[in-house]
Amino acid sequence: MAASAAPVAPARLPADMPLPNRAGLRALSGQAIANALLAIFGVLFLLPMLWLVFASVDARASWSIEVPHLTAANFADVLSGSNLQSIINSIVMSGVSTVIATVCGALAAYALSRRHIAWKGPLLLAVLFLSGVPLAILVIPVFQMYSAIGWLSLLPCALFLAVTSLPFEIYLIKNFIDAVPRDVEEAARMERASTFQILTRVVGPLALPGIGAAAIYGFVTAWGSFLVPLVLITDPTQQPGSIAIFGFIGNAYVRYGDIAAFSLIYAVPILLLYTLSSRLFRGGFVLSGAVKG
């Protein structure tokens, strides 16, 4: 077996160094071990997800993992009535929050990237620091403030979610605007473009991958938020999907298939958006052609 494997070994090596056969063998066995280990990790990470997929299409689902009695009823159940309403609430909450955070974030990021501002360094550091403050400490004072003015509902909650993702969005967009060559903007200024026109016609389109990535970040954070809507929304009909799924567990009559289907559906927009954002980053940044030599 050793004899048959030896001649193949050098061809499989990543480096084209001529290695003696024994080293080649060792590298080959090392690669086999690496592949096996990676496969084991993959299976371990996959295991918890299996229940989610199987139970979501199982008519007789329970907590245990079984061969499903195939049905689409769970998904139909989840996409109707109050469950559908909670998904719509999620869309409204995340959408409003994303628009507020991205517009305010982009304006601030442009000023922080291009304009002269006193104490800019410490200001940016403070913004970065804010993005690290744990939300758990903010919900109590904000709850108290909101309840004083009767704001414990969907849209004010979206506003607060926007604020929580704002610091990181400012940082992200600023990094992208920094990469847009100033010459392009100055050319527009020569042509007497106003600041608004420069923002919407020049810098905005050029920094679009960054603004898009920031918007996706904002949407994903709002969509996945749990603690904030749990505390800041009192009306059950306004609760987003994340709280609605949680409500399933406490029910005396638990519908396991619905829980799995709802959890799965709730994860789908996030998976799609992340894929989109990785494409945004990869398609990235070909701005070097915008300025001539």
Partner 1 sequence: MKAPRTPMTARAGTPAPAEAGAGHWPGTVPAAEAPGRLAVPEGRRRDAERFQWGSLALLAPAAALLVVLFIIPVVYAFYLGFTNLQLVGINAVDWHFTGAENLRRLAGDHVFSYSVELTLVFIAGSIVGVVVIGLALAMLMQVALAPLRILAGGIVVVAWMMPAITAGMTWYASTTARGTFGTLMGLANSDFLHSEPMLIVTLANIWSQTGFAMMVFGAALRNIPRDILESAQIENASRLQRFARITLPLLRPTIVTTVLLITLISLANFGLIYVMTQGGPGNATSILPIYSYQQAFQFNNLAYGALVGNTLVILCAIFGAIYVRVSMRRA
List the interface residues with partner 1, window 103-162 (CB under 8 A).
103-105, 107-108, 110-112, 115-118, 127, 129-130, 132-145, 159-160, 162
Q: Verify binding: residue 219, partner 1, rule CB under 8 A.
A: no
Alpha-helical segments (H) within the chain: 2-5, 9-12, 21-56, 73-78, 81-114, 120-130, 139-148, 154-179, 182-190, 195-197, 204-206, 208-224, 227-232, 241-250, 256-283
Residues 241-260 that bind partner 1 (CB under 8 A): 241-242, 245-246, 249, 256, 259-260
List the x/- string, 264-283, binding to partner 1 by CB under 8 A: x-xx--xx--x---------
Looking at the Cβ atoms of 3 and 48, the one nearer to partner 1 is 48
Q: Write down the least CB distance from residue 152 to partner 1, Å.
A: 12
Distance CA 7, CA 28 (A): 11
- In whole angstroms, how far apart are CA 46 and each of 31, 51, 182, 188, 245? 22, 10, 47, 52, 22
Burial annotation 190-225 (CB, 10 A radius, 16+ → b, else e): eeebeeeebbeebbbebbebbbbbbbbbbbbbbbeb
Q: Write down the least CB distance from residue 94 to partner 1, Å.
A: 11
List the x/- string, 56-95, binding to partner 1 by CB under 8 A: ------xxxx------------------------------
Q: Verify binding: residue 184, partner 1, rule CB under 8 A.
A: no
What are phi and psi for residue 71, nearest 5 degrees? -160, 155
Looking at the Cβ atoms of 91 and 138, the one nearer to partner 1 is 138
- Residue in 5, 25, 52, 73 binding partner 1, rule: CB under 8 A: 52
Q: Write down the least CB distance from residue 114 to partner 1, Å.
A: 9
